[in-house]
Every structure is written in structure tokens, then in C-alpha cells.
Amino acid sequence: MRLFIAIKLNEEIKQELIEAQNRMYESGVSGKFSPEENLHLTLAFIGEYPDPEAVMDVISTVPFTPFDIALDGFGTFTDTWWAGVKENPALQAVVRRIRRALSEAGIPFDKKPFRPHITLVRRAKAQLGVPEMEALSACMRVMYISLMRSDRGKNGMIYTEVGRVES
């Protein structure tokens, strides 16, 4: 089972991201645009792991109080284009605690440094380079963290919430 720990986004953030994707598309950007239902902020990517209950047991031990996140700009990882999330000490602290708990429990995860972003387009191509984009301003209060499962469907990836941990 392919697993990751994420923050599911509220409708305000999703709508602002969909509008940004539409502006990209209208500016001649092509690629695999993330569908609205798949927009999320990954906190830890676990990958193939057979025991989601063990992961839920671990993340349920990670304390956190509700905190806010806000969108902030755009960026790229080669051909992956994303929306950024404003610098946030509470978010960084939760990610550190989650990753430490996973490590202590022996649950493998991608140890790349955490760079908070929401993937908008994969395999992006633009005839005129990265288009000028309007500033993003949507925000939300994070009340829970989700364990997500990723399955390959005939039209792309399908993300399903396996469980959640509330603050």
C-alpha cells in the first residue's frame, strides 16, 4: 500500500489553486494538472508500506494544536510546478515530530528536507516559460492530519483518506 501523511485542503484554498491552474492552462502551459480532489500538502511520504494501522498508531501519538497555513507564491522542481506555503513554525514543528515518531517506530519515509508545497502540474511545459502569476492569499486552519493512500486508477492517481488524527 502506497501511503503518505498530509493536510487535506479546505475549499477556499482548492478554489484559488484551481483558478491558478486555469490561468496556467490559458497561458499555454501543458502537462498533467493535479485534479481538485488530489490537491494536498504532503508532510511525510512513506511509500509502499503494508500496515496503515501501525502508521496511524504512530501519528496519533504526535501532539499538535490547530494552526494556520497560507498559500505563498509559486515554484518549480524541474518539470513539476507547485504553489508554496508561507513559512510557518507550527507546521515545521508538526512535521519534525511526525518524522521523528516515524523514525523511532522504524517506519520508512522519504527523508528529503521538508519544502511545503502543493503540486499543481507534473511534466509541465510552457511555450513562453513560466507565466506571470497573481499572488495567492487563501489560508486555512489545520484541525487534523490525514493518513492517505495512493492508488493508480485508469485516469491517474486516486488519493483516499485511510484515517485522520485531530488536534
In angstroms, the first-to-last Cα distance of the chain is: 26
Which is nearest to 69 in space by CA: 121, 23, 114?
Answer: 114
Q: Which long-range contacts (CB under 8 A, 24 or more apart) does 87-91 make?
A: 88/116, 90/64, 90/65, 91/67, 91/116, 91/142
Indicate the pLDDT class of residue 155, thresholds 50, 70 and 90: confident
What percentage of the chain reaches a pLDDT higher than 90?
83
What backbone torsions phi and psi does residue 85 show, to the nearest 5 degrees? -120, 135
Output the pTM of the full model.
0.92
23-66 per-position pLDDT tens digit = 899 888 999 999 999 999 999 999 999 999 999 999 999 999 99
Q: Is the distance from CB of 117 to CB of 75 less than 8 angstroms?
A: yes
**pLDDT score for 40:** 98
Altogether, the residues listed in the chain come to a count of: 167
Residue 68 burial (CB count, 10 A): 12
